[in-house]
Structure formats: structure tokens, C-alpha cells
Structure 1
Amino acid sequence: MMRLSALYRYPLKSARGEALQTSSLDLLGLSGDRRWLLVERDNGRFLTQRMYPQMSQLAALHNTDGSLTLAAPGYPALHVAVPEPDNDLRGITIWRDSFRVPDAGDAAAQWLSDFIGKDVRLVHVPEQRARYLPSGYGLNSDRVAFADGFPLLLIGQASLDDLVDKVGRPLEMLRFRPNLVVEGSAAFAEDGWKRIRIGAVEFRVLKPCERCIMTTIDPQTGERSPDREPLATLRTYRQKEGDVLFGQNLVADGAGVVEVGMAVTVLE
């Protein structure tokens, strides 16, 4: 039987993930997932570990009221309240999307600028200001917060096990930043899924996830793999039309709750 074996949330895009036992789902995916973002102060361009691998050492914990607690080695913890949805709007850009979202204030900006070593601002996305999915995917009602393009990412545990065998050393699932990990399926079985159900929630599987240099960053240390693994090995057998594919992007059909241990059923 297939089951949900792990559940992860990333409150601040590209910061450390949180392992969860259970989570509610809303319009934007797991509650509290990637609702916060770091952007350059001057131009609003988003920041990730691709250019700033030290973000892997930045903890951003989601609180029940939606607020954020920032923590990092050598820095005092900082509580950041959710800004009002229509106040102090800042223009930002994620890939091809440009839109306006509320700024989280000067205290958070200074704390994070000190940590990153660059002038940055922290922004938050309320549900009513979320983006549409990439053109050609999903429904008009589907939205995404600050994830690259889709609200949820699923990876089969057997798919990672297969990659580990080929690379020849252990690899952390968090390198790939999934939300949902499924146990009990064959390696890369998720490539053929179109609809699944976890507990009482149904999900549409929209497209494979294209992988980048972030997979070579050790989530514990923030150091890049000098041999460019596991991306180098993925290129040898998971490349299609120039893109390296690992995991599947999903969207949930409606709200609900998912919990580690729940049965996973392929509907289509």
C-alpha cells in the first residue's frame, strides 16, 4: 500500500524546511508554505539559494497566526508579524511574474540584510494577491504563493532511493524540497500519475519538476557538492529536451488535511 511518508513546509522561500506530521491545505497549498520571500531592496528581484547558499542556514518558522520567527546561527530570533494585505505594497519579480505584495517592515529587512550581506526586504503574499499558475497549466481558480510555479511538489521515496544507488552515497530528500513524499510506489511511478488522493483530498498532477543547481547544496551545511551531484547523475537518465526532471508538481482540489501515514491512492 502506498502512503504519505513525509510532509515538508518551507515558510520562507529558499530557507530551511520544516518537517510536519500533519498540515491543512488551502488555496495556495500547505498552510504557511512559501508565503514569505526575500527580494533585493532596489529592484524587487527574488533571492534563493541558487545565488545565496547561506539561505540554507536560515530558519523561518511558521506560527499558528501566520507570523514568522527568523533564526540563524549567531543571530537573535526575530518575530515578524503578518503585514496588512494592502499596506506598504512593494513591486517584486519571480521569474516572469511581476506583482505587488506587502512589505514586512524595517526590522525584518535589517535582520535579513545583515545575515545575507546585501540590502534585502522581506515580503508576504496574502491569498488575494497570489499569482496564477504558468500559462497552460491548471484551472483559472488555481493560485500559487512564492513557489517557483506550482503550489505543491511530490516525490516518491523509491525515486530518491534509485538516485542514491546511482550516485553511490546518501542524499537528503530536503535537497529536492518536496512537500509530499510517497512510500510504497515504484521508482518514478509518479511520472505516470494524473490524479491522486491522500486521505480525503484529491490532487491533480500537472507537470514534472525541472531541477537546478540547488540540488547540489547540502541542506545541513549550505556547501555545494564539488562534483555537482546529484544533478550530474540526474542528467544521465532524467533529462528530457534539456531539462532535468525529478518529482511532480501538483495542485489540490479544495481544502482539507493531510497527515503522515495516510493512504495514497492513484485515481488516474
Structure 2
Amino acid sequence: MARLARISLYPIKSLDPITVPGAEVGESGALDGDRRYAMTDAGGEYVNGKRTPAVHRLRTSFDRAANEVVVRKEGGSDAHRFDIDADRDRLVAYLSDHFGLDARLADADGGSYPDDTTLAGPTVISTATIEAVASWYPGLTAENVRRRFRANLEVDGVPAFWEDRLVGDHDHGVAFAVGDVTFTGVNPCQRCVVPSRDPYTGEESPTFRTTFIERREETLPDWVDTTRFDHYFRLMVNTTVSPAERGGEVRVGDDVRISGEERL
């Protein structure tokens, strides 16, 4: 039986995740607290993994109750704690020094800064998919793959690439319920340079993308609509959430049930 195994939130976009036992769907359609903050430059452009591998070399832990973040550099022991509100200037100064630019910290204030602003719902992947992708690369662990692809909802009790069942044709999404909340799967998520980099050091693997594309095409289930893949550097599923479902909560252990296709 399909079951929600893990919920990951990324309080500061592009930085480390936290895992939580439950999460509410916010008014934007994203999970509450996911990518609430985003690092930008003075011009408002994101400072993220697409822009610089220096993002990967920051380790963070986030206390949601206190709204505090602890930041240190990979391999270092010198950790700094910041209250996001009271210590905003000190945090921004730390980030500016790390990135070598005039950084800012934007606050969506109850909203989110998703990668896909049209499909702002949580992203979905299966545990078996993560393990399958890890097996394509010698020495790569499932946790390393999780951090490369950065999904919100992880489902177990299903085979690898099960989440591709949440993609309909170009005019339809696939409705599925997690506990009492219904989401709509829309398309397989297009990947950028980020998964090709080690999530802890930022070191890029020059063959990661090529290997991924080859193995993804080889392992694509025969029931998949290949017209939804203009290329095979796609993994996990983007979703949307109707306004009526927002405010609902999903929890680890919830059953996951596919309802069927619906017109977008």
C-alpha cells in the first residue's frame, strides 16, 4: 500500500531540508514553511544552486518554533545561530561574505518561493525511485540522491518510478489523495544543473547528467506517455492544489491513493 514516508521542507530556498511529521498546505498551495525565505542579491535575483555551487557548501539546521537558523560551512565546526527576525542584518552579512556579493533574505510571509510558480504544490517522489537512481552511480547513497533532487513528499510501498503514474496527458492531471488532502499531479519535473553537483561540496560530476538520461530512458515504465518527456533529465512530479484543499494537513503514515485523471 502506498504510504507517505517522509515530508521534507526547505525553510530557506536552496539550503538544507528539515523533515517533519506533518505539514499544512498553505494558501499558496505549497506546504506551509516550505521555501518561505529566499536568498537574493541586491537586484532581487535568486542566489541559488543554479547560480553558484557555493550554496552547497553551507550546512543549516532550522528551528521552526523559534524561527532560528544555525549555519556553518561544510567541514567546519564554527556554527552561527541567527534569529531570522532579530538577527536579519547579521545573517545577511554572513551570507554576503560567503557568496561575495550584497545578499538579501526575502520573506514570502506565509507564501513560498517555489521553483515552478505555476505549479506551486509539493513535489512527489517514491523511496524506490530514490534508491534506483542511487544504484546508477557507484558509491552514491539514497540520502545523497534525496539532497540532489529535493522533493517534498516521499512515498513508499510502491515500485520505482511509481510517481510517473501521477502524470496525465497534456490536457489532464492525475488526482491523488494523501490522507484527506487531494493534489493533482501535472508533469515530470525538469531538472537543472543542481542534481549533477555533490549536495555537500558543490563539486560537479561531468557524467552525472549523461548517465541519468541514459538510465532514465532505459528504465522508463512502458505505460508512461513519452510525449510528456521532451528530454529525460526529469524526475519527481510537480503538483497543484485547488483552493478548497488548502489548509488541509498531510502526515507521515498517511495512505496515498490515486483517484484518476481530471481535465486541467
**TM-score of Structure 1 vs Structure 2, range by shorter chain:** 0.7 to 0.9
In the alignment, which residue of structure 2 is the partner of 1:209?
Answer: 189
- Which whole-Å deviations, capped at 9, do the CAs of 1:192-215 have from their partners, x for residues lacking one? 221111111111112210012111
* Separation of aligned partners in 1, 2:177 and 2:84: 35
* Separation of aligned partners in 2, 1:68 and 1:34: 15
User: Aligned AA for 1:30?
Assistant: L
In the alignment, which residue of structure 2 is the partner of 1:133?
Answer: none
* 8 Å CA contact 2:70, 2:79 repeated in 1: no
Deviation at 1:248, TM superposition (A): 0.1
For normalisation by structure 2, the TM-score amounts to: 0.77
User: Aligned AA for 2:140?
Assistant: P
* Separation of aligned partners in 2, 1:44 and 1:202: 34
Q: Secondary structure at the match of 2:136?
A: helix
* Separation of aligned partners in 1, 2:135 and 2:92: 42
In the alignment, which residue of structure 2 is the partner of 1:191?
Answer: 164
In the alignment, which residue of structure 2 is the partner of 1:54?
Answer: 54
Deviation at 1:118, TM superposition (A): 1.8
Matched, 1:31 2:10: no
The runs of at least 4 aligned residues of structure 1 exceeding 6 Å deviation read none
Q: Aligned pair count?
A: 227
Moved more, 192-201 or 249-258: 249-258
* Separation of aligned partners in 2, 1:16 and 1:177: 9
- Which whole-Å deviations, capped at 9, do the CAs of 1:238-261 have from their partners, x for residues lacking one? 463246110001123322222222
Deviation at 1:75, TM superposition (A): 4.4
User: Aligned AA for 2:152?
Assistant: N
Tell me how large the CA RMSD over aligned residues is: 2.3
* Counterpart pick for 1:236 among 181, 199, 214: 214
Q: Which has the higher strand share?
A: 1
* Separation of aligned partners in 1, 2:231 and 2:147: 24
Q: Secondary structure at the match of 2:123?
A: strand
Moved more, 233-242 or 247-256: 233-242
In the alignment, which residue of structure 2 is the partner of 1:64?
Answer: 65
Q: Which has the higher helix share?
A: 2
* 8 Å CA contact 2:38, 2:46 repeated in 1: yes
Matched, 1:125 2:108: yes
User: Aligned AA for 1:223?
Assistant: G
- Which whole-Å deviations, capped at 9, do the CAs of 1:53-103 have from their partners, x for residues lacking one? 2323241515236x3424224342111129xxxxxxxxxxxxxxxxxxxxx
Matched, 1:148 2:121: no
* Separation of aligned partners in 2, 1:108 and 1:54: 16
Q: Secondary structure at the match of 2:33?
A: coil
* Separation of aligned partners in 1, 2:185 and 2:63: 26
* Counterpart pick for 1:109 among 92, 98, 107: 92
Deviation at 1:105, TM superposition (A): 5.0
For normalisation by structure 1, the TM-score amounts to: 0.76
- Which whole-Å deviations, capped at 9, do the CAs of 1:106-126 have from their partners, x for residues lacking one? 333212212222211111012
In the alignment, which residue of structure 1 is the partner of 2:81?
Answer: 77
* Separation of aligned partners in 2, 1:228 and 1:48: 22
In the alignment, which residue of structure 2 is the partner of 1:262?
Answer: 254
- Structure 1, unaligned runs of 5 or more: 83-103, 131-144
Deviation at 1:148, TM superposition (A): 0.7
- Which whole-Å deviations, capped at 9, do the CAs of 1:11-69 have from their partners, x for residues lacking one? 0110111122222221232211101011111x21111122322323241515236x342
- Which whole-Å deviations, capped at 9, do the CAs of 1:122-162 have from their partners, x for residues lacking one? 110124xx5xxxxxxxxxxxxxx211112311111222222
Deviation at 1:181, TM superposition (A): 0.5
Q: Percent identity?
A: 23
* Separation of aligned partners in 1, 2:198 and 2:155: 22
Q: Secondary structure at the match of 1:267?
A: strand
Deviation at 1:179, TM superposition (A): 0.3
Deviation at 1:237, TM superposition (A): 4.3
